[in-house]
Structure 1
Amino acid sequence: MPPTRSGTGSDSDDTLDLQLPPEPGALSAEDIRSRRAAGTPAAGPLLDGLAGWAPADTPAGPFALVPVDLERDLARIADWMNDPAVAAFWELAGPSATTAAHLRAQLEGDGRSVPCLGVLAGVPMSYWEIYRADLDPLARHYPARPHDTGIHLLIGGAADRGRGLGTTLLRATADLVLDHRPRCGRVVAEPDLRNTASVAAFLTAGFRYADEVELPDKRAALMIRDRVHRHLL
């Protein structure tokens, strides 16, 4: 379990223009394809070949989950982790080796948790972890069901926060999970209760507040998006 299971920078305000300006560091379609082809264990069965999932259409542009390449992406993600707004909940601030160890534990694992860049209209602008909640230590703290899938996120740049992007991308990512994991009946998350913006974004994205849970590193809001209610949200 990472130090905290919490998104940051999410926001429930969806009233502003969500289009992102062009910026350096965009991933080309070829780069995304090559990463997907090399996405092991992200291409494995525990998450139904996440590396091959097609992008989702969103009001802000096409959004893709692209498995992290440690060598190429470490500096970017470590920089995000050292933003005080992110560090308050993820607790991975410090030298890049701290972030590298967190990423490597997943990349060298069995595929039950896959770290990804969130790429919006070709621009890497968020960090995600898609994980098997039923195989995670989290399952000791709530009534887990087989194939429950968990998500963690952070919005990387301060300029991308407070614009409704958190809600938009949470909904898109939950839809990607439900579209590509037919055995998954629920998408779950456990943001820190102190992170009220994140909790609000989950609620606006169609998650329900299921419980308050005491985890080893925080008190969390258990958020659930049910497949059976998907058409109502």
Structure 2
Amino acid sequence: MPPTDASADAGPVPVHPVHPVHPGHPGCSGHPGPAEDVRDCEDTLDLRLPSELRALFAGQAPDADIGGTAAPATEARVHTPIGPFEVFFDAPDAPDASEALDTVDLLDQVGTWGPIETPVGSFRLQPVRVERDLPAISRWMNDPAVAAFWQLAGSLTQTEEHLRAQLAGDGRSVPCLGLLDGTPMSYWEIYRADLDPLARHYPARPHDTGIHLLIGDVADRRRGLGSALLRAVADLVLDRRPACARVVAEPDLHNTPSVAAFLNAGYRYAAEVDLPAKRAALMIRDRSLRHLM
């Protein structure tokens, strides 16, 4: 069962599985109706997709079937039906599909963000390498205070599968170690909230960036360290991701230490949201308010 939540100062912070998003496509009224009603509102849209998705579509083979329609390599436009609509977008010029995919970085190279100075020391995010980091992360996941929320207690294999699911994905979630003055002491997941299943449950904006955190050692919990690091990582995201206007998180509504840590880190309590495994507090740190909170 996938992890659900964790407290920043008590160890856990929310996490949920990384899956591709398959959003629904409502009919004219905003809610799908009978089949004949949906057909009555069929239309043709002429849309320009974001550059990230255009680059991903460039990975299709010249004779690949997109939405049931073959797209010759020489065509300038690609057609695909989406729900009741027919969508056309400009096909990107990318003769080499693998090269186009290599240019897609959904999180602006987390590993190059560098350190940030905090009241508790110099901190940086280091993307996980399974061979190096698995023993420490698995040990943290088996701490009862962490396991109660992340639900990843068990063998090394279980933790490894959780990490590799992200590392083998399309880059929408990056697992990292948090290094404080050079010492690994926390585990983080930096993810594209707007491309995550979470986006089905709140009014997501393009490039919304989500964070999950657990503090590894008991001695580092419940002394304000989580709040200091949550603020620092939000600042890193906003500094290194110019397109991102908000950092979001979704701790369990009843996880008071976690919610308090986010509030102390300059996040605002935006809403309550019903997620598959919990009722969560949607916490947001806005770029426009970062120097006021």
**RMSD over equivalenced CA pairs, Å:** 1.8
Counterpart position of 2:179? 119
Q: Is the 8 A contact 1:10 1:164 kept in 2?
A: no
Which of 140, 147, 160 is the equivalent residue of 1:87? 147
Which amino acid is 1:154 matched to? L
Which of 237, 252, 270 is the equivalent residue of 1:192? 252
- The SS at the match of 2:290 is helix
Structure 1 residues 64 and 98: CA distance shift in structure 2, 3 A: same
Q: Mark the runs of 5 or more structure 1 residues left unpaired by the alignment.
A: 12-40
**Cα shift at 1:60:** 1.3
**Cα distance per residue 1:26-78 (max 9 Å; x no partner):** xxxxxxxxxxxxxxx9x962001111001110111110000001011111001
**Cα distance per residue 1:174-196 (max 9 Å; x no partner):** 00000000000000000112221
Which of 129, 140, 144 is the equivalent residue of 2:189? 129
Provide the C-alpha distance between the structure 2 equivalents of 1:75 and 1:229, rounded to a whole number of angstroms.
39
Question: How does 1:67-216 map onto structure 2 within 5 Å?
Answer: 67-216=127-276
Q: Is the 8 A contact 2:237 2:247 kept in 1?
A: yes
Counterpart position of 2:282? 222
Counterpart position of 1:14? none
Answer with 1 or 2: which has the greater Rg: 2
Provide the C-alpha distance between the structure 2 equivalents of 1:109 and 1:5, rounded to a whole number of angstroms.
22
Q: Larger relative CO (CA 8 A, sep 6+): 1 or 2?
A: 1
Provide the C-alpha distance between the structure 2 equivalents of 1:107 and 1:154, rounded to a whole number of angstroms.
19
Which amino acid is 2:222 matched to? G
2:140 equivalent to 1:55: no
**Cα distance per residue 1:160-182 (max 9 Å; x no partner):** 00111000000000000000000
Counterpart position of 1:30? none
Q: Is the 8 A contact 2:9 2:227 kept in 1?
A: no
- The SS at the match of 1:162 is coil
Provide the C-alpha distance between the structure 2 equivalents of 1:154 and 1:226, rounded to a whole number of angstroms.
22
- The SS at the match of 1:220 is strand
Q: Mark the runs of 5 or more structure 2 residues left unpaired by the alignment.
A: 12-100
Which amino acid is 1:3 matched to? P
Identity percentage of aligned residues: 71
- The SS at the match of 1:63 is strand
TM-score (norm 2): 0.67
- Runs of 4+ in structure 1 deviating by more than 4 angstroms, as ranges, are none
Q: Is the 8 A contact 2:9 2:224 kept in 1?
A: no
Structure 1 residues 111 and 5: CA distance shift in structure 2, 3 A: farther
Provide the C-alpha distance between the structure 2 equivalents of 1:52 and 1:105, rounded to a whole number of angstroms.
22
Which range moves more in the overlay, 129-138 or 2-11?
A: 2-11
- The SS at the match of 1:231 is coil
Structure 1 residues 44 and 125: CA distance shift in structure 2, 3 A: farther
Which amino acid is 1:105 matched to? A
- The SS at the match of 2:174 is strand
The structure with more helix, counted as a fraction of residues: 1
Q: Is the 8 A contact 1:56 1:64 kept in 2?
A: yes
